[in-house]
Structure 1
Amino acid sequence: MRPEIDILRSIKITVHIRMRILYLHIGFHKTGSSSLQLAMKEQVQALDQAGFGFLSLGKKGNSSGCIDVCKEKGRVHFQVNSRLDELLAASRSEQVIVSAEHLSYLYQRDRIELVQRVCSKYFDKIVVIVYLRRQDLQAISFKKQGARGAASNRSSSSKLLGHDEGAFPSFSKDIEIYYDYFTKLKLWADVFGADSLKVRLFSREALHGGDIVSDFLALLGGGVELSARRVNEGVGRKEFLLTHKLLELGVAESDLIKLKPMMLEDDTQLLPSRGDAKQFFMRFKNSNHLLNNTFLSNDSGLAFDTDFSGYPEQGNDWITVRDLSEWIPEILSAGIQRPEGLRDALLADKLQQMVRKKFSGEVLTQELEDLANCLSASAYIAKDQQPWYRALKKKKTSGR
């Protein structure tokens, strides 16, 4: 036997094949994404030590800037821009995490295929992670986000959900597409591969460790430990109702900003009625049935728990005249342009609603009583003003 062969056999040769993995978190909105992103952004060194690189476009860890959201002719459109490619091109780690909940907006196959092509340029394996929340719960929370701003059609929530009165958005084609979880996720699974898609239920009971940070890290399987972060994005009933109503009426952003402080004084929770919540959820019954059979399994057969007992029988997601009677004095003193005009616009809008709605006699009587109190609170009759020199003249005691 040749000596050189013996030498080669005695040498252990190890070949390292570098496989790059991308963990792509695509949302949905209002499933703890902000808390997850901030936790990873603030503790990026701990992730790095565990072998994970975290990339983001935003200073708080969000990469949703890779999706353009625009509204034209009453419809909302979503487009992948070049920022995703630029972000991934800058990565160096073998395992990389990107979180961008705006990716959950995508529902057209060619858009999702574009995301897949961009990711495949730099990574050998892509794991798509998505969290789902029952449609009625998600919609309330998402519409609350739209009440945090002071301008219409600026935030994606404003563009998609609008500012109609009530906890839920008016039903439209865009709303139907966004909340049809099954059809959307089926496309992602078809494009990236069924094994690449990890679908998780966003609920405290279902999440590993009871929070999204612990649950997401468990999916990574790398033994990473990060402190959970809670981002408070709460919106009280007063801010929700007034912001949406004023935006619907077309109030200027400068005036809305002046009114915001008085809205923040109330932290009462806004809740729709049990019937309205169930009705919204059941619009997606067929989609959720398919979702249950493919991605999530629940005894209800509809992918989610169908307990609606957390909602009251009568909701508080509409402005009452009693609300206006309490809020109008603050509106009049907020320093906005023509405050009396806004007061009258709110009252006129309320009267129109009272005409349209089929109130019961008891509710209508209460609304009318509150309307009288509301008007009396701001009623003012100017007294006759006499010039100062009239006071010096002796007043006549006779009418002649």
Structure 2
Amino acid sequence: MRTLYLHIGFHKTGSSSLQLAMKEQEQALNRAGFEFLSLGKKGNSSSCVDVVEEREQLHFQVNSRFDKLLATRRSDRTIVSAEHLCYLYQRDDIERVQRVCAKHFDKVVVIVYLRRQDLQAISFKKQGARGAASKRSSSSKLLGHDEGAFPSLSKDIEIYYDYFAKLKVWASVFGADALKVGLFSREALHGGDIVSDFLSLLEGDVELSARQVNEGVARKEFLLTHKLLALGVAESELIKLKPMMQEDDTQLIPSRSDARQFFMHFKDSNQQLNDTFLSNDSGLAFDTDFSGYPEQGNDWISVRELSEWIPEILSAGIQRPEGLRDALLADKLQQMIGRGLSGEALTRELEYLAKCLSATAYIARGQQPWYRALKKKKTSGR
């Protein structure tokens, strides 16, 4: 029976590690009777899904590359991994995927891994800070560049993180038995890693070495990249600033209350997800322990930090560095006004604001024209 194992994501659930492991060890898969097809050099086939922004909303559609890829199959047991497929949520689009699969295969096993919404969002937004251009990566298009670890809630965000509604359609189109839903956590994964767990779902004896791929960024690069992209800084300028951002290795982490609030926004969806696809004692499909987060997060830029970073920005070789400094400071002032800071907190921020400005403060003094130095000064009268 011609069988397709179709891995559809989600993003930030070890997809890159899985894809690279299968791409690098294709011969081992072949010896076990499996064929791994991909559109990308690292095993990713997400380019089969177009991500287009129209009228301030994202639209997703499978393109012709998917059909062409499946048409190249030579084995009766084939694997394809394309995490962008998890973007699809409308029945017509998912039915289009099913029709293409049915042309080439008798059976399709749809494999998907889920990660608690707050954990996934932080990791996905970190990936969006790796680039230097807005609206180029899918993370940038979906999550945007607002300050903070989490994206602002929008219709696109609501759709993307409503796991239950999306999987319900996939199960309806492909059949409930065809959908294999796993939880992305070290404790839940077979063997403790995504590669071992995925192989355990295949109908055959396959052994591959695990592969680790880290696509995240540290705190300074996360904060400054998103802030500068939100301000509209050109890609060419951001590239010049990237080296100074990457000197820091501090990890960004939001507050416990912010993480819980983001997760609980999808409470109703997760309750249904728990009843249908995943079962957790919490009743919300995922572990609800948020103790790993601190009481106070570090996912905001303070004026104190700007006072430390601005000298580096000024010396990075960008055009009009003082203008960028002023844009950053004006943005912080607007935030301070909006947050209604007062007392000691306001005083402290104002002190660092003065420090930021003093780094480039300059007053032109009265100077004697050069030609005056050539003339002998008069000693008396007219």
> How does the TM-score come out when normalised to structure 2?
0.97
Q: Secondary structure at the match of 2:21?
A: helix
Matches within 5 A, 1:47-86: 47-86=29-68
The answer for unaligned runs of 5 or more in structure 2 is none
Amino acid of the residue matched to residue 382 of structure 1? Answer: A
For residue 296 of structure 1, what is the aligned residue in structure 2? 278
Cα deviations by residue, 1:255-286 (Å, 9 ceiling, x for unpaired): 11111111111111111111111000000000
Match of 2:80 in 1: 98
Matches within 5 A, 1:375-386: 375-386=357-368
Unaligned runs of 5+ in 1: 1-18
Task: Write the letter of the residue equivalent to 2:314.
Answer: L
CA distance in 1, matches of 2:88, 2:309: 40
Matched-pair contact (CA < 8 Å) for 2:111–2:180: yes
Query: 1:287-320 CA distances to partner (integer Å, 9 max, x unpaired)?
Result: 0000001101111000000011111111111111
CA deviations on 1:70-127 (whole Å, 9 max, x unpaired) are 1112101101101000000000101000000000000000100010110011111100
Q: Does 1:208 align with 2:214?
A: no
Alignment length (residue pairs): 382
> Which of 132, 156, 161 is the aligned partner of 2:114?
132
Q: CA 1:399–1:109 in 2, change beyond 3 Å: closer, same or farther?
A: farther
Q: 1:398 to 1:277 in 2, by over 3 A?
A: farther
What secondary structure does 1:96 align onto? Answer: strand
Distance 1:53 1:285 in 2: 39
SS at match of 2:78: strand
Structure of higher CA gyration radius: 1
Deviates most, 383-392 or 51-60: 383-392
Task: Choose which of 218, 241, 245 in structure 2 pairs with 1:263.
Answer: 245
Counterpart for residue 148 of structure 2: 166
Q: The residue matched to 2:84 in structure 1 has which SS?
A: helix
Partner of 1:277: 259
Q: How does 1:1-400 map to 2 (within 5 A)?
A: 19-359=1-341, 361-388=343-370, 390-391=372-373
Which amino acid is the alignment partner of residue 257 of structure 2? G
Cα deviation for residue 347 of structure 1 reads: 0.6
Closer, same or farther in 2 for the Cα pair 1:321/1:51, shift >3 Å?
same
RMSD: 1.6
TM-score by length of 1: 0.92
Residue type at the aligned position of 1:59 = K
Question: Shift of the alpha carbon at 1:377?
Answer: 2.3
Q: Which amino acid aligns with 1:69?
A: V
Distance 1:43 1:331 in 2: 43
State the distance in 1 between where 2:379 and 2:8 align.
85
Judge conservation of contact 2:130–2:216 (CA < 8 Å) in 1. Answer: no
Between the aligned partners of 2:380 and 2:121, the Cα distance in structure 1 is 73
Distance 1:207 1:166 in 2: 30
Deviation at 1:379, TM superposition (A): 1.6
Letter in 1 for 2:34: F
